Amino acid sequence: MKKLINDATQVVADALRGIEAAHPASLRVDAGNRVVLRADAPASGKVGLVSGGGSGHEPLHFGFVGAGMLDAAACGEVFTSPTPDQILAATRAVDGGSGVLHIVKNYTGDVLNFELAAELAEADGITVRQVLVADDVAVTDSLYTAGRRGVAGTLLVEKIAGAAAERGDNLTQVAAIAERAAGRVRSMGLALAPGTVPATGRISFELAGDEIELGIGIHGEPGRTRGRLAPARVLAEQLIAPILADAEHTGCPVIALCNGMGGTPLMELYIMYADLADLLAGAGVQVVRSLVGEYVTSLEMPGCSLSLLRADDELLELWDAPVCTTALRW
């Protein structure tokens, strides 16, 4: 295992030290609870947005803490859900009196721990709503999940919900918009090779040199099938087909995310996106906004995913609204 670390058991704590050192003006870190917060949180009268999950998916989630997006992110150990106490600390820290929305990827540990934290927060007098993201069309009832997994589409939901909270929507309105975005996003990913979990020093799964895993999860969970490495255009077709088979994507504007899994050069992501864009246009899908880069990763796994969100005028307006985080800004 070759990694830029000091101690394999302290990678999350050490990364949080780095975040605090790099962004003192915009972020603050609750090191004891491993929570990253907006420096100005809580904002009085504003709905607070909290997300989080296991580390190893950076910049998800702490990279999306900032104006126009999340108010806090709870950071679990690598590929391990944050504890209810961590989530509760984040919820308390961002409550400005208008309630808090939890945006949760659909993994059993995340769902249970966020639900328990919400109950504890409600006992403190904080109103909490929860929105689940389950955008992965690859499989249902997988290794860590009852139902579909929450993957890269989470970024789109967090951006749209964050903009709604920033413009002053109340908790019911922000939750409804987040639900609408979550219900309209679909994702599919592939891996060329595994990543290595620091604490164990072992790869998360095995692939032959000429194999790919189609439908891979962001923790290295099994996908739909294994196949042979092929040209980018062929792989693009294999990402698009199950998404379009799952939901109708014509007749509405679409936001597209071509996301790297952690170890894919940006040049290759743009090669993939060129083919994805051509194929989507040929299928009658009107992509009006696109984002390409490493946003929801799986350590250093090479591979990529495609997320498509069937938008409407309001969702596009919220997507276009200003955002200023360490990983996303316009």
Looking at residue 1, its pLDDT comes to: 87
CATH architecture of 185-319: 2-Layer Sandwich (3.30)
Using CB atoms within 10 A of its CB, is residue 117 exposed (0-12), middle (13-18) or buried (19+)?
A: buried
Where are the CATH 3.40.50.10440 domain residues in the chain? 11-184
Contact 263, 193 (CB under 8 A): yes
Between helix 232-246 and helix 266-282 the angle, nearest 10°, is: 50
Where are the CATH 3.30.1180.20 domain residues in the chain? 185-319
Looking at residue 195, its pLDDT comes to: 92
Could you tell me whether strands 48-55 and 100-105 are parallel, antiparallel, or unpaired per DSSP bridges?
Answer: parallel
Angstrom distances, CA of residue 117 to CA of 82, 83, 243, 313: 10, 8, 33, 34
Tokens of 233: 């255009």
Contact 11, 200 (CB under 8 A): no
* CATH fold of the domain at 11-184: Rossmann fold (3.40.50)
- 23 carries an active-site annotation: no
Looking at residue 144, its pLDDT comes to: 67
Taking phi first (over 0 means left), then psi (-120 to 50 degrees means alpha), and beta for anything else, what does residue 168 get?
Answer: left
- 219 carries an active-site annotation: yes
Per-residue b or e along 157-173, where b marks 16 or more CB atoms closer than 10 Å to that residue's CB: bbbbbbbbbbeebebee
Looking at residue 204, its pLDDT comes to: 82
* From 57, 61, 102, 249, the catalytic residue: 57
| pTM for the whole structure | 0.97
Q: Mean pLDDT, 10 residues at a time, over the chain (330 residues)?
A: 95 98 98 98 98 97 98 97 98 98 96 98 98 94 80 98 98 98 98 93 89 93 92 98 97 98 98 98 98 97 98 98 98
Write the pLDDT tens digit of every residue in 246-297.
Answer: 999 999 999 999 999 999 999 999 999 999 999 999 999 999 999 999 999 9
Contact 219, 198 (CB under 8 A): no
